[in-house]
Amino acid sequence: MKGLIENRFGLLALVMVAVAALYGVAFATRPAPVTVRPPQAVKAPVESVSAVCPAPGGTRLSVVTPPGGQGPGSAVVAGLAGAEGGDGKGGNGKGDGKDARPVSTVDQPGLLWQKEIPAGGIPLAVDATGSMAAGLESAQTARETSGPQRGLAGVRCVEPGADAWFVGPGPASADVTLYLANADGAAADVSISMYSGEGPVLSERGSGMILQPGEHRAIQLRDLAPSPLVMGLEVSTATGRVAAAIRTVFGKGRGVDWLPVATAPATSVVVPGIPGTAGQRELYVTAPGEQDTVVNVKAVLKDGSYALKNKETLDVPAGSTAVLDLSTGIGGQPAALVLTSDVPVTAGLKITGTGSSQDVAFTAGAPSIDLGSVVADGRAARKQTSRLVLSAPFAQAAVKVQLLPKEGTAPPPVEVRLPAGRTREMKLTPPPGGGTGFSVVVQPEPGSGPVYGGRVLDETTTDGQMVTAQPLALARTWALVPPTADSPSAVLP
Amino acid sequence: MHSVTAIVVAHDGARWLKETLTAVLRQTRPLDRLVGVDNGSRDGGGRMLSEAFGSGNVLTLNRSTGFGEAVHEALRRLPAASGQEWVWLLHDDSAPDTGALQALLWAADQDPKAAILGPKLLDWLDRRVLLELGVTVGRSGRRDTGLEPREYDQGQHDGIHDVLSVSTAGMLIRRDVWDELSGLDPDLPLFRDDLDLCWRARVAGHRVISVTDAVAWHAEASARRRRRISTSDDHPRRLDRRNALFVIMANLPFWALVRSIVRNVCGSLVRTLLFLLAKQPANALDEVAALGSVLRHPLRLRRARKARRNGRKQGYPAVARLLTPPGAAMRRLADMVQSFLAGEGPVDSAGRHHAAAEGASEDDGDELLADSGVFQRVFSRPGVLLCLALAAVTAVAERSLLAGDLLGGGALVPVTGGAADLWRLYTEGHHVTGLGSDTWAPPYVAVLAGLSALSFGKTWAAVSVLLLGCVPLAGLSAYISTRRIIRYGPARVWLAATYALLPVATGAVAGGRFGTAIVLVLLPVYAALATRVIAGSRRAAWGLGLLLAVGTAFVPLVYPLVAILGGLAAVSFAGVRRGVGLSLAIGLGTPILLLFPWLAELARDPGRILLEAGLQDVALADPRLGAESLLMLSPGGPGVPPVWATAGLVAVALAALLLRRHQMMVAIGWGVMLFGVLVAIVVSRITVHAGEASVPVWPGVPLAFAATGLLVAAAHPAHRITQFRAAGGLRRAATLLVVAVAFATPVAAAAMWVVAGADGPLKRGVPDPVPMLAALGTSGGDGTLLLRAKDGRVVYTVLHREAPLIGESDLRSPEDARKRFGAAVAGLASGRGGVYAQTLASLGVQFVTAPGPLDAGLRRALDSDPALVRMSLSEAGGLWRMAGPVTPPTPPRGTDSPHTWWLWAQGVLVVLVLILAAPGARTPGAEEEYADAVVEEAPRGRRRARGDNRGDRVPA
């Protein structure tokens, strides 16, 4: 040993051996690369849902919760407190903004509840908790066979939110009314931004307002901005939440309907739920940013998805709304539109029925229904037809469609397969013995690609077709509970 | 016509007496009368006097007689002589030059008013060193010769000077003046009697002059404790101090006296305190006792003052002119600071008698030659230059980190708060932070609080200096610490630069690992202290213990590493020197004592030993660090250079193995390196559960240990480079190659660091996590819940009015509260409705904030909850307020008494260890060995011997 150390190369050799041994140990113990799987969110039923039906007077109100909820639960339909005066001073001591006397209480999941609400009256709030909350869907549908508001006009009762987009005809081409309601216990500071065909509309009267708890308002957009022929409208709140809806009345013989809420601006927008009936189709695209853009339009039809001839693109100037008539492209066939653009855009579509007296319906950019979707109001009578238009624009998909009757047992769900890039339209026939009204639950199968869709309701009358549509909205059945971690490192970006 | 009587007083001074007597007898101006006084010498001094002067001229007195008394006794028996009669007083240890008397008399002839004359006193042993050319005194009683310490006599002070006083060694005094003043005060048997006499002479209108043509060599045997004093039992130091105070107080006029008393009482207390801090209780006692003894005998003082009443006030201006000017103390302080900066160590100038001989050091010659300005002295030192260069590199590399808002990222929470906040965090029993916690704050919080206090309460300043400045600081500490291990200057510079720019250092900066940064600075100090501990130094052991406690508080892994190496060293060296085992036990036991409760808690959760202070983040370490990285000392994670950057260092260290001499140090260095790498391999393969995440361990500190060993192995034999270069030929070429390879490592590391920039996860301008509205809107125990979507999960924390303090991340909340809270947060972030928000409100959450970039799903979820009211939303993030009432959690009443007790105990322990570790003033070795003739070099010599041993330790 001593000799080894004293030898010039002995120590070097020893060290080299030791270093090599360490290298070997380090090399051998190096762990295999592990792909860190991000923790998965857990699906959990929604525990409470509230929605506001903007103008239920004279309409049929439908409320439904898909079956499956456990335990007790109820959905209370009640008028918005303080609504009579419209001054927001109502409400009880707790300031929860709800009327003390409910119109009705629904407590049976899986069964459709419908009621004709007498004309006039105030917005109704639907508050569901427990088993009635998971997937609660409500809608109001008006049916007028004559007069200036002739037609079918239906709208989902919307959850109050901080932001809502609408894209459709402007106040110059129709009588556009914005319904705002604050169902919360805190005041909402609402501001409205409008993007017309010529650019953003700057209102002289100011576009902001405060809605006290329980207050609701109906605003004629003509008063704010009389000139836009088309518009994209954003209702947003600085504080608080608001439920917003827009009714568009074209006038006698030209139709009436509500604008559905469009998705927030994104670079890829899918406008689903375009029925295969004949009539005009008019696409509105709003680019709220500060950059002009060219939007690529692609139609997803029964036999595939492709760009429409001469209508491949649409130029949208910055901060404005552009129109593209697609009647010759997709008229008469069920479709969905896929819009892609460099800058975020949002879109809506007008569907016009046929006949001497026209009726209109609107669909809009919608999210995919990954967690399922529920449509509250479906009708199938002698002349009324309900259609479900489903599209799988990106990947093959499969969904289960189940109808929920007003009474009796629900029929077994039907599985619908959608090849990639196709649209399918299916007529909804109610189960026998369940009456004419029913609800629809659409649930994508596991592993299915994104599915978009819409429900179209039409009625053939002697003077023309009456129609209303709504894109399928993400049901509030499930919420994704994200994995959480209590860590002080949250303060760092 | 002069008649001179020489009086030589001897007392146990035979060692010097012979020379003194010879010198007296050989004067060129023969003496008229010779008188010897023997104060009871037991070493044959009396006999020598008799032999020299004749037995009739020698007076024998008893041992306790003082110098003054002896002279009085001699003069009383001496009849007056004719002409101008002079008395020449000589100590037995003061040998005058042959021409001394002649020169003195010549000077006396020049000025008839000159009544007292003194020669130039030089040191007995080192005969070139000046001792005195007349002495003055400060109003505080401090002796002042007006000379530099160890000042050499080159004729620079020559001439005849008016002085306040001259020493009695060689003092020539007119006999009539002696009689007029009644001579030396017998109450002052030793020390300051000369000052008193001369003061009185001055007051009486006589002149006291120092004549440099007359030379005498003085051994200062009593003051330097070369002989035992018999006149008093007191220590000469105490005697000197007491007499100084006494003389001052006796001779000052009344108002000046009052001022002097006040000043001396305060001054003495301060000095006592300083002595205590410097662990010189004997000095402290002397200081207090001297003052006490003067003040305790007012009658004695009064008597003395009465005797000196005549002309005291009138004569004072003449004396005051010669006293030490008032600014001298400040100048002395400035001198000390200056010389400390220049690296010469604090040198106390001529305050004490033996200042001259004590400090003689080996580089006297350099000292004289290097007469340069402060600037040049400070900036020509390689250590300072190295530090400046590293600071410049650091400043360029950290260009994006130097200025701006909050500093944070990686392991560092955005630095907010001040020293007071950290103290509060450390001392409070219940923390309102997060969900509320009763755990004791980790000890590093106290260290940071102390450092913040030193930075005027600015935590950000302390953290910035430590973390961002860790590279130059580590370089400086490595340079200074290796002073005794590596004697070759350029090698030390190389070592320090390479050490400072190790991948560990740049990685620590980029990762915001302030714990590693601190350990990196401390590590060379550990090495230096450990070598002294091995040599048996107790003080170094306390210092090591304290610093090890600091390092362990930040990075617990430091402790086992040092303990294992220390244990190995103990096994190797315990037999070699006595006390090594105890010193090591002190060094390794102190951290355990100081950090006890916290360490006990760590031991319950051993995984945490591998982690370090600050936030634990998965992204900060490489879970599968390559073998080549580990061997090349690269710890992985953000901010490290490519693996090959340190190849030069390893190559040079391998080359060092080929040298024949100094093999042991190289082998030890490599041993440390292999050990460090082995530990690094083991820990880097471990993942530790910190909170809810499992974090791979960053092997920075073990690799820093390994690098230290490698650097020492490479730098220690580097001085042989000069030999090889001189050898020429192939060896010269090989040497140049080795040097080039060696310097390639720090240069490459610096270049890559500068190019890549230092900001990794660590960033300037981290947004304040608590929005202004929330900070203003919360009060008491209300909290703000911060949610951030990160890698598919929602990370949350509860803040109270401000960003978390450093250290709050290590507090634990009760398990059940955390579970309840976690479930509620998950529910809230899912947007499924329900009463989650109300649950959070009942737990004290007033605001919910989600900083940008805001996750859309999270925003939707928060917006959809009716119990939350949105207050703002922008790019910077969103803020929501609870709509309902919030019940802040009530903190528990009462204090945590064990915690309080422990804090006090810990404080006392730290102060104790600090005092034990603090560098006390070096006690001159002469104090223990006053009987020895050649002791003047004792302390230095021993210390140097230790240094040598350290250099080439050879275990038995």
Q: Which residues contact B759 (CB under 8 A, 6 or more apart)?
A: B398, B400, B401, B510
Which 222-281 residues of chain A touch chain B by CB within 8 A?
Answer: 237-241, 264
Taking the Cβ of residue A185 and every Cβ of chain B, the question of whether any pair is shorter than 8 Å is answered with yes
Q: What is the pLDDT of residues A445-468, one digit of tens each?
A: 988 999 999 999 989 888 888 999
**B713 in Cβ contact with B658 (< 8 Å):** no
CB-CB under 8 Å, A484 with B663? no
Query: Does A68 have pLDDT greater than 60?
Result: yes
CB-CB under 8 Å, A33 with B624? yes
Buried b (16+ CB within 10 A) or exposed e, B896-929: eeebeeebeebeebbeebeebbeebeeebbbeee
Share of chain A above pLDDT 70, in %: 93
Q: Which residues pair with A239 in a beta bridge?
A: A189
d(C-alpha B51, C-alpha B48), whole Å:
5
φ and ψ at residue B670, rounded to 5 degrees:
-65, -35
CB-CB under 8 Å, B866 with A33? no
Q: Provide the 8-state DSSP code for A142.
A: E
Nearest to B786 among A49, A479, A491 (CB): A491
Interface test with A, best of B631, B649, B657, B683 (most A CBs within 10 A): B657
CB-CB under 8 Å, B615 with A492? yes
d(C-alpha A258, C-alpha A248), whole Å:
6
CB-CB under 8 Å, A25 with B873? no
CB-CB under 8 Å, B786 with A26? no
Q: Provide the 8-state DSSP code for B581.
A: H
d(C-alpha B928, C-alpha B935), whole Å:
10
Query: Does A83 have pLDDT greater than 60?
Result: no
Buried b (16+ CB within 10 A) or exposed e, B823-849: ebbbbbbbbbbbebbbbbbbbbbbbbb
Taking the Cβ of residue A48 and every Cβ of chain B, the question of whether any pair is shorter than 8 Å is answered with yes
CB-CB under 8 Å, A6 with B663? yes
**A258 in Cβ contact with A154 (< 8 Å):** yes
Taking the Cβ of residue A133 and every Cβ of chain B, the question of whether any pair is shorter than 8 Å is answered with yes
What residues in chain B have per-residue pLDDT under 50? 345-371, 922-956
d(C-alpha A314, C-alpha A294), whole Å:
6
Taking the Cβ of residue B822 and every Cβ of chain A, the question of whether any pair is shorter than 8 Å is answered with yes
CB-CB under 8 Å, B870 with A161? no
CB-CB under 8 Å, A479 with B832? yes
- Quote the pLDDT of residue B942: 36
3-state class (DSSP) for residue B505: helix
Buried b (16+ CB within 10 A) or exposed e, B231-268: beebbbbbbbbbbbbbbbbbbbbeebbeebbeebeebb
Question: Which residues does chain A have within 8 Å of residue B616's beta carbon, measured at their own beta carbons?
Answer: 489
Interface test with A, best of B793, B805, B813, B843 (most A CBs within 10 A): B793
d(C-alpha B825, C-alpha B795), whole Å:
9
Question: Which residues does chain B have within 8 Å of residue A46's beta carbon, measured at their own beta carbons?
Answer: 832-833
Which 113-132 residues of chain A touch chain B by CB within 8 A?
Answer: 129
Buried b (16+ CB within 10 A) or exposed e, B386-422: bbebbbebbbebbeebeeeebbbbbbbbbbbbbbebb
- As a whole number, mean pLDDT of residues A196-215 equals 81
Two tokens at B319? Answer: 């004396």
φ and ψ at residue B268, rounded to 5 degrees:
-65, -40
Taking the Cβ of residue B691 and every Cβ of chain A, the question of whether any pair is shorter than 8 Å is answered with yes
- Quote the pLDDT of residue A362: 94
Residue in the structure block whose two tokens are 């009064």: B302
Q: What is the DSSP string of A150-219?
A: -EEEEEEPBPPBSEEEEEEE-TTTSEEEEEEE--SSS-EEEEEEEEETTEEE--TT-SEEEE-TT-EEEE
Two tokens at B742? Answer: 């060696």
Question: Which residues does chain B have within 8 Å of residue A160's beta carbon, measured at their own beta carbons?
Answer: 866
d(C-alpha A313, C-alpha A296), whole Å:
4
Burial of B667 (0-12, 13-18, 19+ CB in 10 A): middle
Query: Does A93 have pLDDT greater than 70?
Result: no
What is the nearest CA distance from B769 to chain A, expressed in angstroms? 5
d(C-alpha B851, C-alpha B854), whole Å:
6
- Look at chain B and count its residues: 956
Taking the Cβ of residue B692 and every Cβ of chain A, the question of whether any pair is shorter than 8 Å is answered with yes
Banded model confidence at residue A201, pLDDT cuts 50, 70, 90: confident
- Nearest chain A alpha carbon to B813: A486
Kind and range of the H or E run holding A98: strand A98-106
Taking the Cβ of residue B615 and every Cβ of chain A, the question of whether any pair is shorter than 8 Å is answered with yes
d(C-alpha B426, C-alpha B910), whole Å:
15
3-state class (DSSP) for residue A67: coil
CB-CB under 8 Å, B826 with A490? no
- Quote the pLDDT of residue B226: 74
CB-CB under 8 Å, A480 with B870? no
Q: How many Cα neighbours within 13 Å face the side chain of B600?
A: 6
**B389 in Cβ contact with B753 (< 8 Å):** no
What is the nearest CA distance from B801 to chain A, expressed in angstroms? 13
Taking the Cβ of residue A46 and every Cβ of chain B, the question of whether any pair is shorter than 8 Å is answered with yes
**B254 in Cβ contact with B280 (< 8 Å):** no
d(C-alpha B503, C-alpha B648), whole Å:
13
Q: Provide the 8-state DSSP code for B891.
A: P
d(C-alpha B511, C-alpha B763), whole Å:
10
d(C-alpha B344, C-alpha A490), whole Å:
50
- Quote the pLDDT of residue B377: 67
